[in-house]
Amino acid sequence: MNEKTVGVIGAGSFGTAIANLLGENQRVLLYERKTDVAEQIRQTRKVRGYDLHERVEISTSFEQVAKDCFLIFPAIPSHHFKEMIVDFSQHLRPDHIMIHATKGLHCEFDIDQAQSKHLRLKDIKTMSELILQETGIVRVGCLAGPNLAGEILDKQPAATVIASRFDEVIRLGIEALKSDRFQVYGNRDILGIELAGVLKNYVAIASGALSGLGYGENARALLITRGMGEMIYIGKSLGADKRAFLGMAGIGDLIATCTSPKSRNFTVGYRIAKGESLSDILASIGEVAEGVRTLKIGKLIVEHTGANAPLLLTIHKVIFEGLNIETAVRMLMRHYTTADADYLDL
C-alpha cells in the first residue's frame, strides 16, 4: 500500500481526519468539490484550522481520483451522497474498491412528504446499497466507530470498524488505515455496522438534551443503555444482526457521541434544551447533524415495521412537533420494561 495512492471524497472534518490517517501509510488524494476552497487548502495546508498530512494532496477532479486510486473512501453527508456517486460513476471501474464513511441513509422519496403506511423499505438505502446501485463497483465496505473528527485530527488514540462482505475489502482497509494510534477491526455484517452508525445519531441528540436540562450521569447511562436496545430493535426489523450493535461501531460509537460536546448531534440536543430553535442551531453549526435526518427516516421505519422505539418517537416530537423536553422525559420514564437487556433475546 505504501506505493499506491488512496482517494478520499469530501474535505470536511471527517474526510480530512481520514485523509490524515491514510497519509501515514501512503499518498492520498483528497477531493474537494469547490475550486476556491481547494485552492485555499493548497495554499494554507489547513482544513478548519487543522494541518494536512504532508502526503495528502488536494484534487478537484473525479477523473484524477478514479485514475490514480484503486481504494476510495467517500466521506460526505448522506443527503449529498447520491448526487456525488452519480457524478463520480462515469469514472469508476468494477475493479475499484470503495469504503464509505457516511453515517446516514438515503431515501428515494421526499422524507418530509412521506407516510409510513405507503413506505417501501427498499426505497430506503444504506450508502453501500447506493454505491452498488449507481456504479459498477462490486467490492464495497463501510467505516464506522467512535470517530470524533477533532480528536482524530489531534492525533488522539481511536479505533474503527471496517465492514464488508469481502475479506479483501476488510484487509486492504485495515492495511491502509491502521497505525500505532488507530486500531481497525473487521466485520462481515455490513448492514448491521451501517445501521449502528446511523441510529446512534438520534440517541446522541437525546443525550445532549439531557445535559441541556442539567441532568447527570445516571440519566445518561439509562439513555445509552435503553437507546442501544432500541437501536437493536430497529436494526433487527431491517434485517441486521444484533451483534453489530454490541461492538465498536455500536456501543463504542454510541458512548462517544452521547458523552462528547464535540458531537454535532449532541450539540443539537443540548441547544434545543436551552430553548434555541432547530433552524438557528443548524444554521450556526456549519456542518450537517445527521441525527436530525435520522429522526425523520427512523420515524417512518418504526411506524412501518412496528419496532419498539419509544425514544425515537418521543425525541421526534420534541424536535419537530414542539413537545416540551421535560414533558418528554416524564413520558419516557413511564415507559419501561421489567426485563433487563431484553434485546439480547432477539
Residue whose grid cell is 414533558: 327
Q: Which of 318, 303, 315, 310 is nearest to 337 (CA)?
A: 310
137 with 94: CB under 8 angstroms? yes
| Number of domains into which the chain is organized | 2
Question: Are 85 and 220 contained in the same domain?
Answer: no
What number of residues does the chain have?
346
Question: Active-site positions?
Answer: 200
Residue 2: per-residue pLDDT: 42
Rounded distance, CA 84 to CA 7, Å?
14
DSSP symbols for 68-92: HEEEEEE---HHHHHHHHHHHHTT-
Question: Are 34 and 175 contained in the same domain?
Answer: yes
Mean pLDDT of 307-311: 94
Cell of 22: 491514510
User: Can you give the CATH number for the domain in which 243 is found?
Assistant: 1.10.1040.10
108 with 134: CB under 8 angstroms? no
Rounded distance, CA 332 to CA 233, Å?
17
Q: What is the pLDDT of residues 208-264, one digit of tens each?
A: 999 999 999 999 999 999 999 999 999 999 999 999 999 999 999 999 999 999 899
Q: What is the pLDDT of residues 113-127, one digit of tens each?
A: 888 888 899 999 999
Q: Which of 150, 265, 151 is nearest to 209 (CA)?
A: 265
Structural domain range at position 181 = 5-188
Residue 146 phi, psi (nearest 5): -75, 80
From 158, 188, 218, the end of a domain falls on: 188
Q: What is the pLDDT of residues 153-180, one digit of tens each?
A: 999 999 999 999 999 999 999 999 999 9
Question: Are 143 and 291 contained in the same domain?
Answer: no
Q: What is the pLDDT of residues 3-35, one digit of tens each?
A: 589 999 999 999 999 999 999 999 999 999 999
Cell of 156: 488522539
Residue 311 phi, psi (nearest 5): -65, -45
